[in-house]
């Protein structure tokens, strides 16, 4: 065999063996070093309700904290609606209380007096009818007089019965169905007031968390709809570092594991973090990530929750993450072991 052929065969064997070793090798010893980029969440803030902007209390570049008031709408319309609903609620509450209490003793006494009056009228009409009957039987009275007296007595009896039934209604009070209807109307007013109170509270734009105002989209005096963006805020807590780990190194990390973070700037202070999320789905390495493996190697996305007390991390900033090989319960890396 020619020497050149022998050399080629040896080279091919070495390449095949090296490839086999590369695919079968275990994870490297020592700390795991990953390259990643900072991810800062941005949120578009707007009012939940429509209205005219009365105040803008922050500007671009301002730091805000959770619960801070950023802007406010003109509240006159919300306040007028709330006063109107509260007046209607009071009216419904008074109507319900009246139905539950029933009729007043004076009203019942008045109904009893009317019954007595109708009974007296009936007694008088009966006497008149009896006299008319006697006169008619003796030929001293006419048929018409007798008929009129008889009908008047029947009418008085009907009126007496009507007064008695009205007295019974007075004593029985309102029906249960009417009371339930009044109670439902009161509950409806209370619910409407709750909605109006929330709308009044939503006329203030509140910061959901600590951050920095990136952009002020609207100005005072503008009419905005519900959900329309007024501020764009970059949330500073928490700050995430997005990185990727190969399948061979996947067993070396787990959620909660401590991580040392370092920026490229020489004067930057080292920071700490922890593994917050490990993707369950493999993907191809993005072209913007520098790794030691091939670009086409499958990797898993990892999210590191960074501690940034000084607020130096910015969107897209490259970060070197060193994962302690001893795990979340082991010793931290010393300064000399850090990259």
Numbers of helices and strands, H then E, in the chain: 5, 14
Whether the pLDDT of residue 218 is over 70: the answer is yes
Tokens found for residue 187 = 């509950």
Q: What is the pLDDT of residues 159-183, one digit of tens each?
A: 888 888 887 777 777 788 888 899 9
Ranking 51-55, 161-165, 326-330 by mean pLDDT, the lowest is 326-330
Cβ–Cβ < 8 Å for 328, 257: yes
Phi, psi of 331 (to 5 degrees): -70, 150
Tell me what pLDDT residue 335 has. 36
Instruction: Name the DSSP class of 55.
Output: E
Tokens found for residue 114 = 């009317």
Q: What is the pLDDT of residues 236-286, one digit of tens each?
A: 878 889 998 888 888 888 898 999 998 888 788 888 899 988 888 877 655
Whether the pLDDT of residue 52 is over 90: the answer is yes
Tell me what pLDDT residue 49 has. 95
- 29-42+236-323 and 45-74+203-231: identical CATH topology: no
- Is the whole model's pTM more than 0.75, yes or no? no
Instruction: Name the DSSP class of 103.
Output: S
Cα separation of 144 and 165, whole Å?
32
Using 50, 70 and 90 to split pLDDT, how confident is the model at 73?
very high
- Provide the 10 A C-beta neighbour count for residue 149: 21
Cα separation of 327 and 253, whole Å?
7
Q: What CATH number was assigned to the domain covering residues 45-74+203-231?
A: 2.40.50.100
Looking at every residue in the chain, the average pLDDT score rounds to 81
Superfamily of the domain at 29-42+236-323? Efflux pump adaptor protein, beta barrel domain (2.40.30.170)
**Segments making up each domain of the chain, as ranges:** 29-42+236-323, 45-74+203-231, 85-194
Bridge partners (DSSP) of residue 284 are 298
Tell me what pLDDT residue 126 has. 83
Contacts made by residues 186-195, CB under 8 angstroms, sequence distance 24+: 186/89, 186/92, 186/93, 186/96, 188/92, 189/85, 189/88, 189/89, 189/92, 190/89, 192/85, 192/88, 192/89, 193/82, 193/85, 193/86, 193/89
């Amino acid at each position: 065999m020619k020497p050149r052929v022998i050399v080629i065969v040896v080279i091919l064997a070495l390449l095949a063996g090296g490839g086999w070793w590369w695919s079968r090798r275990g994870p490297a010893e020592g700390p795991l070093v990953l390259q990643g980029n900072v991810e800062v969440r941005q949120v578009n803030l707007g009012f939940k309700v429509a209205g005219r902007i009365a105040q803008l209390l922050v500007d671009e570049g301002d730091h805000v904290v959770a619960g801070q008031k950023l802007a406010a709408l003109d509240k006159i319309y919300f306040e007028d609606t709330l006063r109107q609903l509260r007046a209607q609620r009071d009216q419904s509450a008074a109507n319900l209380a009246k139905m539950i209490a029933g009729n007043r003793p004076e009203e019942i006494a008045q109904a009893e007096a009317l019954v007595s009056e109708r009974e007296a009228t009936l007694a008088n009409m009966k006497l008149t009818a009896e006299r008319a009957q006697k006169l008619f039987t003796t030929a001293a009275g006419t048929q018409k007089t007798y008929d009129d007296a008889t009908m008047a007595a029947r009418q008085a009896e009907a009126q007496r019965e009507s007064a008695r039934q009205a007295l019974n209604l007075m004593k029985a009070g309102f029906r249960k169905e009417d009371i339930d209807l009044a109670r439902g109307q009161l509950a409806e007013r209370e619910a409407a007031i709750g909605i109006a109170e929330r709308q009044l509270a939503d006329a203030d734009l509140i910061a959901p968390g600590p951050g920095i105002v990136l952009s002020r989209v609207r100005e005072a005096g503008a009419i905005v709809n519900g959900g329309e963006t007024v501020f764009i805020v970059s949330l500073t807590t928490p700050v995430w570092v997005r990185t990727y780990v190969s399948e061979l190194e996947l067993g070396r990390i787990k959620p909660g594991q401590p991580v040392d973070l370092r920026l490229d700037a020489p004067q930057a202070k080292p920071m700490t973090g922890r593994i917050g999320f490990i993707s369950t789905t493999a993907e191809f390495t993005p072209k913007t990530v520098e790794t030691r493996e091939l670009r086409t190697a499958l990797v898993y996305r990892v999210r590191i929750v960074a501690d940034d007390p000084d607020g130096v991390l910015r969107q897209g900033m490259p970060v070197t993450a060193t994962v302690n090989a001893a795990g979340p319960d082991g010793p931290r890396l010393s300064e000399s072991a850090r990259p």
